[in-house]
Amino acid sequence: MITVLRLGHRIERDKRLTTHVALISRALGADKILFTGQHDKSLIDSINKITEKFGGPFSIEYIKNYKELLNKNSEIIHLTVYGIPLSKVINKIRKSKKDKIIIIGSEKVPPEIYHLANYNISITNQPHSEAGALAIFLHELFKGKYKDFKNPKIKIVPQSKGKKLIKS
């Protein structure tokens, strides 16, 4: 079970970024995304619509407090520009059979997260984007192999030019 935990969502400021982060989570193989901060029904609805249309399973949920979650027996992976390079730990993480919680922040991540995490991992030590970091982390975790989604109403068929969709 791969869970993405997005900390400190702010409806006004983060609406589109959290949507992108949720879509990245789904497309690249996470099972669910949880978010803290502000409750955002329209975010939840828009992601559930994508899952209905393009297949699942995938879920999105608001949680008030992340602390209970992190007491569980999961591996906690925090993506941060300050962490150690992905390439140094990815093999170990791939081999472990434990459930994983991948934490990404929005503005400022509480200092305790750095200590609660089993891994603080950087995708380059240059400032970039939690969306980009999450995409590369999941891509590497699954070695670029993507899951098949179940019960899609629409499927996109790869094309060298143009667009092709199949409805079922």
Interface with a copy of itself, residue 57, by CB under 8 A: no
- Contact between 17 and a copy of itself by CB under 8 A: the answer reads yes
Q: State the burial class of residue 38 (Cβ atoms within 10 Å of its Cβ: 0-12, 13-18, 19+).
A: middle
Query: Contact between 129 and a copy of itself (CB under 8 A)?
Result: yes
> Would you give the DSSP letter of residue 86?
H
Rg (CA), the chain: 16
Residue 131 and residue 85 in contact, taking contact as beta carbons nearer than 8 Å = no
Does position 162 interact with a copy of itself (CB under 8 A)? The reply is yes
Residues 60-119, interacting with a copy of itself (CB under 8 A): 81-87, 111, 114-115, 117, 119
The answer to whether residue 9 forms part of the interface with a copy of itself (CB under 8 A) is no
Q: Does residue 28 touch a copy of itself according to CB under 8 A?
A: yes
Residue 168's nearest CA partner among 80, 73, 63, 53 is 53
131 is a contact residue toward a copy of itself (CB under 8 A): yes
Residues 15 and 40 sit within 8 Å (Cβ to Cβ) = yes
Cβ atoms < 10 Å from Cβ of 107? 10
- Residue 27, interface with a copy of itself (CB under 8 A)? yes
Does 13 bind a copy of itself (CB under 8 A)? Our answer is: yes
Mapped onto helix, strand or coil, the DSSP state of residue 13 is: helix
Positions touching a copy of itself (CB under 8 A) are: 13-14, 16-17, 20-21, 23-24, 26-28, 50, 54, 81-87, 111, 114-115, 117, 119-120, 122-129, 131-136, 139-140, 144, 146, 149, 155-164
